[in-house]
Structure 1
Amino acid sequence: MNNTIPMPFYSKESLEEPIVIGIARTPEEKREIYRLRYHIYGEEIPFKLVSVDHENKLLYDDLDEWCTLFYAKIGLELVGTVRVNIGQLADFSPEIAEAYCMERFQKFYNNNEYYNFGLASKGMVSSSYRNLPVFTMLMTKVFEVYCDDQVHFGFANTNFHLLPLHEYYGHRRIGKNIVDPNLGLLASLVIIPDDIHHLQIVQSPFLKIARKRKIQNDQIIEWFFSEFPETANIINSQLVTKESFWTTLRVRLGNCPNEVMPILQGLSKTEAKQFLHYCGVVVQCSKGNYIVTREDACQELNILISGTVQSSDVNGISLGQHFGAIGLANRTKHTANIIAATDTEILVLSFHYFQKLRRSCPEIANRILHNLASLQKS
């Protein structure tokens, strides 16, 4: 779907019926959710779906056999969904356990196998309703399940361009990227319901729920940073200020970003700072990571800020230069394979946050689009 096609715009106040969150229990309800997943991931965005039922246009996998499957409805219309799996380490496949470093997290329990982990996945909302708090309401239900079941570690993943949303909820990056056959390169995340201080400083919508937990473990955060020291270098989008973000980029690039990044040409330093901080997130990629793969959905603009990448169709990508397809104004598909030749950092500029910037600061957004158009012609 071309995102320039006007979509209905709803406010919560304009809805004739409320948003209702429920649990899918019947085969018919679950099938409706599988079809919604396929529509959003296969037809709207579209991702390169390989492990799906294309004939019936359904998207499901083994985790659906033992999950709690939440839905969001407005009237009779299904508008969103997320699933959550609660289980012990042995309940998850070796691939999932490895993707989220579950064996390392198991050490917190002195390898006692009877503690549960949580995993939230396949969360999405129909395009017409993304301005409403549907996704937050769904994820709140997931967090409530974690608290009710005394889950200390709740895992999730996300494409890089949505990291700011999940970090707003209170997720932390584990420091490891994983490759999903359908969705491409993803960041692995964990949320720790006992991390009250962190939920407070990111102003998480889950804070009130977390404070009501009957049992809280104050040692868990110290243990997390001890076990995962690599997370200390991750730049959380919700904790970095506009000035410190600019300074970080200046250090990485060896010069002020507006002197190095062609997409910032014509913007004042103040405007450039606002754009980068509002739309951007810094992501670390390990040597060998396929940052983008040909035919993958593109909902971002990637800019190299440290390290080296190799592209199948471009030679010599320099610091400050964008690479891959341009997915800021419209979703598109990547046309090349791009791999991290060394440990690399990239600045990911989000399609979703850029759409918001176009509404609030059209002059800045238009200048960025003008610069990108000029770069494509050159």
Structure 2
Amino acid sequence: MFNKTVTKPSIEKPNSENFQVHTAVHIWEKNEIYKLRYQVYVEEMGKAANHAKGNQLYDELDDRSLLLYVQTGETILATARLTIATAAEYSKELADIFQLHTFQAGFNDPNLLYGLCTKLAVKKEYRNSTALYLILSEVYKILADQNIRFWFGGCNPYLVPLYERLGFRRFAPNFSDEGYGLLVPIILLVDDTEYLRMVRSPLYRQARTRKANPETARKFTELFPATRKVLNSRLTRPHDLWTFLTEKLGKPLTSIPAFQHISQADTMALLESSAVFSCKASDCLIEENTACHDLYIILSGQLATQSANPKLILQAGEVFGGITPQIKRLPSDSIIALEDSDLLVLPQQSLERYYYPLQEAAATMTDNLLNQQEKTPQISSSKGENRHA
């Protein structure tokens, strides 16, 4: 992938002027949505196979949710599911994950409605189009029109930068969903117009025309004070991120093998769409036999393979995952946190975006990771050594 002599290809962009957003009403629409989910989650990403029925991905929440989709011509190219309900109407598991009873008590309203957006899927060839924005903009419009203040969701760690750009915040402990892996609970405060402006969310285009309610954000921060300490990728200056990473590791990031021979400036450019996240002891970061194409750097704590004998122990400064066709990881075993740990995740897509402006730095990183892969075939260790328990 990171070949210094490759020229940038010309890519024909989809004509977004023909995109239309619809709410599924007919059975055929819903069946096409379930098929699209299957194509994205199961066939492409290798997730959620346990939830599949034939070539469709469906569960009981679909029966009481709005199923939205973006269409061009005869093609459905993106979909999302929006559930609107009170805390009592959600399952106990979902209410606990998103701490809905804390909201209910804090805002003193048992009839408070909450929006939950799940099963977001976009065809690969349309991910650089406006399809994602269009469908999320429709979700925002529906919630704002009904004066629903809270929009919840969950994402894998490597998607945190994307959702923080949209205006979501992290606020609760991670959770796991079989078939989807480790997920981070996120929330968007629909009427916090000032915050959407601060993070330069594309949803601000809609929000600025609506009535803002600063009290929602004030009360949210009061209920979840730890959110003040979350390192938000949209609100953290590059210098502050570099300082944080250096303090966590006890040394500059450029001193670990994965980033050797890359300047601080180029390293920070590569990290522009990265995210720092925390996990608790026993959190499963990579499920068994699941390909991992994003790069994870351990900043503190310890991780290990779960059932391999002997176990491979990974510590601060080490890396795992892969970002190129040559460095694909298919661990034969899952990777779990042995203790509370902090990690930095570099999404494959964001690194690919910097391939052309930063060819030399990207190629150097690839060479560094390939060298480490030769030393540890299953999991790349930036220290070039295997430690077993």
Do both share a fold (TM > 0.5)?
yes
**CA shift digits 1:177-221 (9 cap, x unpaired):** 11111210011000001212211111011113223334x432221
Match of 1:316 in 2: 313
Match of 2:381 in 1: none
Asked whether 1:81 is paired with 2:75, we answer: no
Give distance in 2, aligned partners of 1:348 and 1:169: 18
Answer whether contact 1:10 1:131 (CA < 8 A) is retained. Answer: no
Answer whether contact 1:328 1:350 (CA < 8 A) is retained. Answer: no
Match of 2:262 in 1: 267
Once superposed, what is the RMSD of the aligned Cα atoms? Answer: 2.0
Answer whether contact 2:77 2:122 (CA < 8 A) is retained. Answer: yes
**For residue 232 of structure 1, what is the amino acid of its counterpart?**
R
Alignment of 1:191-270 (within 5 A): 191-214=188-211, 216-259=212-255, 261-270=256-265
Secondary structure at the residue paired with 2:194? Answer: helix
Aligned-residue offset at 1:17: 6.0
Answer whether contact 1:299 1:351 (CA < 8 A) is retained. Answer: yes
Give distance in 1, aligned partners of 2:182 and 2:16: 39
**For residue 253 of structure 2, what is the amino acid of its counterpart?**
P
Give distance in 1, aligned partners of 2:10 and 2:288: 32
Give distance in 2, aligned partners of 1:224 and 1:16: 36
Match of 2:56 in 1: 58
Give distance in 1, aligned partners of 2:257 and 2:133: 36
Secondary structure at the residue paired with 1:258? Answer: helix
Match of 1:4 in 2: none
Secondary structure at the residue paired with 2:363? Answer: helix
Answer whether contact 2:16 2:131 (CA < 8 A) is retained. Answer: no
Residues 231 and 335 (structure 1 numbering): CA distance in 2 closer, same or farther, change over 3 Å? farther
Aligned-residue offset at 1:16: 8.5
Give distance in 2, aligned partners of 1:104 and 1:328: 42
Asked whether 1:344 is paired with 2:346, we answer: no
Give distance in 2, aligned partners of 1:266 and 1:48: 39
Runs of 4+ in 1 over 6 A off after TM superposition: none
**For residue 247 of structure 1, what is the amino acid of its counterpart?**
T
Count of residues in Structure 1 that have an aligned counterpart in Structure 2: 364
Instruction: Give me the identity figure in percent.
Output: 29
**For residue 270 of structure 2, what is the amino acid of its counterpart?**
F
Aligned-residue offset at 1:143: 0.6
Secondary structure at the residue paired with 1:146? Answer: helix
Give distance in 2, aligned partners of 1:231 and 1:359: 35
Give distance in 2, aligned partners of 1:106 and 1:250: 40
**For residue 193 of structure 2, what is the amino acid of its counterpart?**
I
Extract unaligned runs of 5+ from structure 2: 1-8, 376-389
Match of 1:371 in 2: 368
Aligned-residue offset at 1:318: 2.5
Give distance in 2, aligned partners of 1:195 and 1:98: 24
**CA shift digits 1:108-133 (9 cap, x unpaired):** 321x2212100001111101111101
Residues 17 and 37 (structure 1 numbering): CA distance in 2 closer, same or farther, change over 3 Å? same
Extract unaligned runs of 5+ from structure 1: 1-6
Aligned-residue offset at 1:334: 3.5
Alignment of 1:286-325 (within 5 A): 286-312=280-306, 313=308, 315-323=312-320, 325=321
